[in-house]
Structure 1
Amino acid sequence: MLALEIYKATRGFPDAERFGLSAQMRRCAVSVPSNIAEGCGRGTDADFARFVRIAAGSANELEYQCLLSRDLSYLSEDQADALMLQCSEVRRMLSGLLSKLCRSA
């Protein structure tokens, strides 16, 4: 869901950002579920946990990029707040998953 929202939000960015901030935000947004999927296919909880940490890092990066997009007036305050809230929720869920993986390892 977050990745879809980022794709929608970045459609309105200036053409000059097509290979800049817009592309980076999309990469981060896709990185989160991609790392979860890749980690899930690994053989151990320790490997999975490593990919969950990478996904959380991408969510952190994306949250900052939403803030920057707001400051550059590419996103409205409401858009940026909604996206940053989703980033926070994703990080919270990843933290919970990471806790479970570390307990079972």
Structure 2
Amino acid sequence: MAFKFENLRVWQRALELTGDIDELTKKFPTEERFILTSQLKRATDSICLNIAEGSTGQSNKEFAKFLGYAQRSGIEVVSCLYVGRRRKIISDEDFDRFYKETEEIIVMIQALKKGLR
């Protein structure tokens, strides 16, 4: 693998999450296409994109900053999951699954960030 981020397990997990969320949002009603679908997909994509962007050619301080962005995007994903469940678009089962996946990624980001110090 040519880039540092490709070897990061947290990036790999975030990339898996983007695919899983993409599949989930295909079940959303069309009226949510430019609302919750778009927001949830962008937030999920932002997790792995920020990990990748911060990892290459950056100082540890700069990488930590991008990991912070990725972490905040993870929190946004969790909030979107709540909105989707509230609107009865996301089942309790899907909510629990994606909440747990996102939470685990956020914990991994926190650990990586802490390890940079």
In structure 2, distance between residues paired with 1:53 and 1:68:
23
Q: CA-to-partner distance for each residue in 1:29-54, whole Å, 9 max, x for gaps? A: 10000000000013200000000000
1:53 maps to 68
- State TM-score, norm by structure 1: 0.94
1:12 alignment partner, one of 27, 32, 48: 27
1:42 maps to 57
Identity %: 30
Q: Within the alignment, does 1:23 sit opposite 2:13 as a pair?
A: no
In structure 1, distance between residues paired with 2:78 and 2:57:
27
In structure 2, distance between residues paired with 1:43 and 1:74:
40
Question: How many residues are paired up?
Answer: 102
Q: Which contiguous aligned blocks of 4+ residues in structure 1 show a shift greater than 2 angstroms?
A: none
Q: CA-to-partner distance for each residue in 1:40-70, whole Å, 9 max, x for gaps? A: 0132000000000000000001011111101
1:76 alignment partner, one of 81, 91, 104: 91
1:87 maps to 102
Give 1:60's aligned amino acid: I
Q: CA-to-partner distance for each residue in 1:2-48, whole Å, 9 max, x for gaps? A: 11111011101111111100000000010000000000013200000
- Structure 1 residue runs of 5 or longer lacking an equivalent are none
Give 2:66's aligned amino acid: F
Q: C-alpha root-mean-square deviation of aligned residues, in Å?
A: 0.7
In structure 1, distance between residues paired with 2:17 and 2:95:
12
- Structure 2 residue runs of 5 or longer lacking an equivalent are 1-15
